[in-house]
Structure 1
């Protein structure tokens, strides 16, 4: 079968590898779609992930259909459409240092269990949409970390896939959602997926606009006018985002960070003391990988709007270049078969 590997710093190749053999407790999945993540570009740039430096299979956002089911496996049938948990594979994280990658024609799930390694999705859901399950789990964990309540006022910085996924999740939980970005078409998409308002931070004063949209927070011992915003989520990773959120946060607000910051960000905790804010960080999806699947299935047309480019596996190198170049595309999904 064909598989996409990092072969060295800045180098990838589509190579022929042995198709996995399905044992009695295993499930063999034919991959039909796999999303491209910004971290794929990082893996390529550094030449892979030890211990497979220079030979790292890529692709950790896969969806597909079952090609073979071991005799001991219960609850699954050949032809079922499924999404996978890349973290649960016994031979390492799929596409992130493990022995297998989702940009391969097949992935073998050893000792496969429904709800642990994979779950089925209805066959009317496009495979490209199902492949959003993993990044939406990242977004879902970030939302969970900030503990929203119905009626909360939320602002999400960054209208990339994770930011928009979080915006959808907040809206489905009954929050009022504002999305901030500097790219007009991303802000238009934010409104289409359910954001109640958007702010172009390249053209507008974010704090002033938040006061206009969410109202002014009740005066307290926190100095200055503050928007009555309950939750700030950084899904952008730019230092100015945290500076803005921390400067705007009212007493008792929550500031969440799901974005990867590549450089240290200085924080004046003395100035923040009176806000008594809650700062939470979010990484991965400890429980959310299949929790988000229900929302993805129920609202799949909304999630489908996140996809900007569908690229066939034969052109996977272009997909990787697009998906790992900031601003070149929004969400790239590779299709197979």
Structure 2
């Protein structure tokens, strides 16, 4: 999270998006009660406790979780929310043709969200395990760029109304231009964090296209996801590869450093 100066420098105590039980509520608290199970998305680093004060629930990104959904899975609710916010930002709508590069947890959140809004969704990732998860989640087309027919597969149903980059791979913008992947008045969504970014001005001028960037998620985004989870349209469970005690954090970060393709969604359990 410290890439490109985003989120601070090294070393950093990163970690946010938690599911927890309300242990105590002040007399003037109206939104929450003791015993409520809540999602808490405010950035505070890894920590076994939180105090919510002098903030509205909206600012703190805190909401009560309904009983109809798996509460443990909701530890990745915010990650999925980043994808949802971006899909809403690029204005995905029913029957659109959408392409998503990158199927990490945020990319899977974006592809699921686009599908939930009625789009036909194609996704690209170099890690076959991630494409397998996308297939399990019902994504329509899954493409591995290591295949010799990669470009032909991309062009087969082009142009795309929305193209979302959730990978940050530097050649993507130029690949979109060279291969004529963007539709007239189409949108390129730069979801992944990038450094300095350049593009060929003519690729947007002729098509009247645009770039969009989004940041984080809101309570409204989370409530939309919860609605789709309750109705079975979106899932988080297939995105989770590791559920471990917090005492295993060092091992998980070692995998992230040495073999990051083995990880997708990771949930730390503070109770064990």
Measured against the shorter chain, the TM-score band is 0.7 to 0.9
Contact kept, 8 Å, 1:39 with 1:324, in 2: the verdict is no
Matched, 1:189 2:133: yes
Q: Are 1:274 and 2:206 an aligned pair? A: yes
Of 40, 49, 52, 1:84 maps to: 40
Moved more, 311-320 or 118-127: 118-127
Cα distance change of structure 1 residues 112 and 299 upon mapping to structure 2, 3 Å threshold = farther
Task: State the secondary structure of the residue aligned to 1:67.
Answer: coil
Change (3 A) 1:276 1:300: closer
Q: Is the 8 A contact 2:255 2:263 kept in 1?
A: yes
Aligned pair count reads 264
Match of 1:235 among 145, 162, 166: 166
Unmatched segments (≥5 aa) in structure 1: 1-37, 49-56, 87-93, 96-100, 215-226
Question: What TM-score results when the alignment is normalised by the length of structure 2?
Answer: 0.86
Who wins on radius of gyration, i.e. which is larger? 1
Displacement, 1:159?
A: 0.8
Deviation string 1:281-329 (CA, Å, 9 cap, x unpaired) is 1222255344433334444872111111111011122233334664241
Task: From the superposition, tell whether residues 44 and 240 of structure 1 become closer, same or farther in structure 2 (CA, over 3 Å).
Answer: same
**Aligned equivalents of 2:148, 2:127: Cα separation in 1:** 12
Aligned partners of 1:130 and 1:296 also within 8 Å: no
- For 1:253, the equivalent position in structure 2 comes to 186
Q: 1:323 to 1:66 in 2, by over 3 A?
A: farther
Partner SS for 1:236: coil
Secondary structure of the residue that 1:252 maps to in structure 2? strand
Instruction: Show the counterpart of 2:221.
Output: 288
Q: Secondary structure at the match of 1:104?
A: coil
Q: Greater share of helix residues, 1 or 2?
A: 2
Q: Which residue in 2 is equivalent to 1:105?
A: 48
- Match of 1:132, SS state, is helix
Q: Please, what is the CA RMSD of the aligned residues?
A: 2.5
2:23 to 57, 62, 67: 67
TM-score (norm. length: structure 1): 0.71
* Structure 1 contact 323–331 (Cα < 8 Å) conserved: no
Contact map agreement 2:126 2:146 (CA 8 A) in 1: yes
SS at match of 2:184: coil
Q: Which of 209, 232, 240 is the equivalent residue of 1:307?
A: 240
Label 1:119 to 1:297 Cα distance change in 2 as closer, same or farther (>3 A).
farther
Aligned to 1:47: 11
- Assess, with a 3 A threshold, how the Cα gap between structure 1 residues 45 and 310 changes in structure 2: closer, same or farther: farther
Aligned partner (choices 128, 136, 155) of residue 80 of structure 2:
136
Rounded Cα–Cα distance in structure 2 between residues aligned with 1:191 and 1:39: 31
Task: For 1:123 and 1:251, locate their aligned partners in 2 and report how far apart those are by CA, in whole Å.
Answer: 44
Judging changes above 3 Å, is the alpha-carbon distance between structure 1 residues 112 and 81 closer, same or farther for their aligned structure 2 residues?
A: farther
Residue 122 of structure 1: aligned partner: 66
Contact 1:309 1:329 in 2 (8 A): yes
1:7 is matched with none
Q: Which residue in 2 is equivalent to 1:54?
A: none
Q: Deviations over 1:81-114 (max 9, x none)?
A: 111231xxxxxxx23xxxxx3x322111114655
Render the CA deviation track for 1:145-166: whole Å, top value 9, x for unaligned: 1101100010100010011111
Q: In the alignment, what sits opposite 1:8?
A: none
SS in 2 for 1:167: helix
